[in-house]
Amino acid sequence: MNHESLTVAVVGATGVVGRTMIQILNEREFPVGELRLLASGRSAGRTVSIDGHTLEIGEAVPDAFDGVDIALFSAGADVSHELAPAAVAHGATVIDNSSAWRMDPAIPLVVSQVNPDDLEGHPGIIANPNCSTMQLAPVLMALRDAVGLERVVVDTYQSVSGTGADALAELEAQIRAHIAGEAPIASVYPHPIAFNALPEIDVFLPNGYTKEEWKVVSENRKILHLPDLRISCTAVRVPVFVSHSEAVHVETRDPITPDRARRLFAAVPGVVVQDDPASHRYPLATEAAGRDEIFVGRIRRDESIADGRGLALWVVSDNLRKGAATNAVEIAEVLRERGWIHSADARGATPYATQVVAEARA
């Protein structure tokens, strides 16, 4: 172990996102001295093989965070609510993939290429956005900065891997049942997902939106520092294994041409423009799967908006990578590069919550 290396814990290490996190830590050569893999008591004692090394899964309990520098959590909101404060008390900084802390005013919610400066005041917990938010925010940032945002309408086409390992198995089983002439069995979703489109992701809220749709609304507002942004969403689960697609309609404050939008998007780190309808070139879920970039195409004027202030786009990204694991590791990289691994309190920095209040008053 070299002196610059860190002790990293992955909580939810047996899950779809947790396994992708381990893979991405390796791929990006994050300086991991010790990797601690944690999951529920059901998995404790099991082993996983990574790069020829066999590692044992431990149970995620408070003492497991002794000596941990960074803990990447991906085990659901209940586990995060319970264990993240315990991990912080043991000296770890938590980067949390669940929805547990995202809208907490004291906790920064960060997309690495949009608002990395928000990390400076973190109190020991940092929230990683929802996958549908993640791929949208960098694209909206480019328009916010160049021509201002008036209104955004986004409809999502989300893959089953966004639900986790059980949903991947359920889609596969339903496809096999269909081929065998058998009735599909639905247990993860309320209806069969194979050969279907389900406009229900997460629970329904009193305002008629689903919680997933409301995450896209409230998380984009927080990340983009636009608390009053007019934004609406319909979130749909589709029978795709990996990658979420989004149809996005944006009304801007100032006029913008599709050509200028293409140049703006291409200039955002991690965003790739794929937009050549003549050769049937546009972002596809199958091609985005396994990649870290956000792909944007079908960029055209929204003819329903006057004065050239409307754009329509198609945005696709791998929900397990940029939508979850890659962004979490990128956050860890920023913390390390800028010397912000420890909480703002420990470093004498201004807490995130205080910065937000100051910004709101300015």
Ligand X SMILES: NC(=O)c1ccc[n+]([C@@H]2O[C@H](COP(=O)([O-])OP(=O)(O)OC[C@H]3O[C@@H](n4cnc5c(N)ncnc54)[C@H](OP(=O)(O)O)[C@@H]3O)[C@@H](O)[C@H]2O)c1
Binding site for ligand X (CB under 6 A): 12-18, 39-40, 42-43, 60, 74-77, 79, 97-98, 131, 161-162, 164-165, 319-320, 323-324
**For residue 113, what are its two tokens?**
């290429």
Single-letter residue type at 193: I
Q: Residue 195 CB, nearest distance to ligand X (Å)?
A: 22
Nearer to ligand X, 14 or 252 (CB): 14
CB of 90 vs ligand X, minimal distance in Å: 16
Please give the order of strands across the beta sheet that includes 244-252.
Answer: 230-237, 149-158, 244-252, 310-317, 294-301, 271-273
Q: Has 342 been annotated as catalytic?
A: no
- Closer residue to ligand X in complex, CB, 131/312: 131
Spot the catalytic one: 3, 81, 122, 244: 244
15 or 184, CB closer to ligand X? Answer: 15
How far apart CA 253 and CA 140 sit, in angstroms, is: 13
- Is the CB of 285 or the CB of 356 nearer to ligand X? 285
Q: Which one, 40 or 196, has the nearer CB to ligand X?
A: 40
Q: Assess whether 233 carries a catalytic annotation.
A: no
Residues whose CB falls within 8 Å of the CB of residue 138, separated by 6 or more in sequence, listed in order: 111, 113, 114, 268, 270, 271, 294
State the nearest-atom distance from the C-beta of 144 to ligand X, in Å.
23
- Using DSSP's 3-state secondary structure scheme, residue 156 falls into strand
φ/ψ bin of 197: left (φ > 0), alpha (ψ from -120 to 50), beta (otherwise): beta
Closer Cβ to ligand X, 7 or 74, answer by number? 74
Complete DSSP assignment for 283-304: --HHHHTT--SEEEEEEEE-TT
Cβ neighbours, 10 Å, residue 210? 19
Active site residue: 131, 178, 249, 342, which one? 131
SS3 39: strand
For ligand X, the nearest residue by Cβ is 15
Nearest to 11 by CA among 94, 103, 117: 94
How far is it, in rounded angstroms, from Cα 228 to Cα 222? Answer: 10
Closest approach of ligand X to the CB of residue 325, in Å? 8
Give CA–CA dist 126/146, Å, rounded.
Answer: 28
- Considering the complex, what minimum distance in angstroms separates the CB of residue 320 from ligand X? 5
Task: In whole angstroms, give the CA distance from residue 84 to residue 316.
Answer: 31
CB of 75 to ligand X, least distance (A): 3
* Phi/psi at 232 (5° precision): -135, 155
Which residues are known catalytic residues? 131, 244
